[in-house]
Amino acid sequence: MMTDNNQPEDNNDFLNELEKDYIASVKENTSETIEDFIESFLYNSWEYNEQKIKKIQTVFSRYSSGELSKETVSSSFNRMLNCLEQKLKELDKDKNYPIIHTGKGASLIVSLVDGLIVQYFLGVYTIDRLQDLTPQLKKSF
């Protein structure tokens, strides 16, 4: 719901939207291998973050100002990580990628993506450059 000045009435609105989009993107990814999933996940991440940069910045601003609690943001982030981890485990039935099955694989992937997105926000990388790096990043995973 929006107020008269077009600001979300609930401070969680943007966070909820980002979480819903993330989980849908992971679940709707039709890749059948880890490699294809990672590649698609990376390309989708670059595009999505570029499109939603203002909402992402708003969520982090609200978090840093105390409008969103640590527990709220952490719970949302954990739900997203759990969804990604489940998807990765489903794709790696033969356990060819042991890190995925440690409970830390999804977190490591997200930390790399988030680190690169922070660098994008700071102007170190452009989306085009991140897209160019994607095949190399896929191999490193």
For the chain, give every domain's residue range: 13-140
Sequence-distant (≥ 6) Cβ neighbours of residue 125 within 8 angstroms:
116, 119, 133
State the distance between the two ends of the chain, measured CA to CA, in whole angstroms. 40
Indicate the range of 4-13, 82-91, 98-107, 118-127 predicted with least confidence: 4-13
pTM: 0.86
User: What pLDDT digit, counting tens, does each position of 78-114 carry?
Assistant: 999 999 999 999 999 999 999 999 989 999 999 999 9
What pLDDT shows up at residue 140? Answer: 86
* Rg of the chain taking only CA atoms, in angstroms: 16
Question: Which of 91, 121, 119, 128 is CA-nearest to residue 106?
Answer: 91
Q: What is the mean pLDDT of the chain?
A: 90
Q: How many CA atoms within 13 Å lie on the side-chain side of 5?
A: 2
> Which of the 8 DSSP states describes residue 2?
B
Give the confidence band of 141 by pLDDT, cuts at 50, 70, 90: confident
